[in-house]
Amino acid sequence: MATNIFINLPVKDLNASVAFFTQLGFSFNPEMTDERGTCMVISDTVNVMLLVEPFFQTFTAKPLVDARQANEMIICLSVDSRAEVDRLADAALAAGGHSVPQQPENEMEFMYDRNFQDLDGHLWNVLHMDLTLAQQAPAEAAAQ
């Protein structure tokens, strides 16, 4: 079973992307960094490889998706508090990211999340779940 995740994302401007994610508080592994890409450390087991588009293109014959125009995926980060959700989302917006409207039907009492797009249009969701509230919801529904 795999114990580490490396998400590979194409970026147009590596330096701009590093500056953006640095403002969000992420660090980078210098041993996995050169002019073609860098390894952004999310946690001990999760990393995001930011790869300049021409280098990313060497891994696949499929055309790149313009993430500003089409959805490719949503990267969801779970954090420890509502305050950390707000800190990351606010930092992303201050660093040049874009807000993404929430869908009201996705709102649940035990979850708090915010979305943003990075400089290349990749969608990020920052989420805090209060599992004590999640466990209460089925019991409350059954009591009605």
Predicted local distance difference test score (pLDDT) of residue 142: 54
Unique residue bearing structure tokens 């797009």? 117
Per-residue pLDDT of 96-117, as tens digits, reads 999 987 766 556 678 999 999 9
Q: How far is CA 62 from CA 57, 59, 74, 120, in A?
A: 8, 9, 19, 18
Task: Name residue 27's beta-bridge partners.
Answer: 41
Give the class (CATH, top level) of 1-62.
alpha beta
β-pair partners for 111: 129
Topology at the third CATH level for domain 65-144 = 2,3-Dihydroxybiphenyl 1,2-Dioxygenase; domain 1 (3.10.180)
pLDDT level of residue 83 (50, 70, 90 thresholds): very high
The residues that bridge with 9 in the sheet, in sequence order, are 50
What digits encode the pLDDT tens for the residues 10-67?
999 999 999 999 999 999 999 999 999 999 999 999 999 999 999 999 999 999 999 9
Sheet (strand 27-34) strand order: 5-11, 46-52, 37-41, 27-34
**pLDDT band, residue 85 (cuts 50/70/90):** very high
Q: Domain locations in the chain?
A: 1-62, 65-144
Confidence of residue 125 (pLDDT cuts 50, 70, 90): very high
Backbone φ and ψ of 102, nearest 5°: -85, 150
Per-residue model confidence (pLDDT) at position 110: 83
Whether the domain at 1-62 and the domain at 65-144 fall into the same CATH topology: yes
Looking at the predicted structure, is the pLDDT value of residue 76 above 80? yes
How much is the pTM? 0.83
Measure the CA–CA gap between 118 and 113, rounded to whole angstroms: 16
Closest-CA residue to 48 (of 143, 124, 109, 144): 124
- What confidence score (pLDDT) does residue 107 get? 62
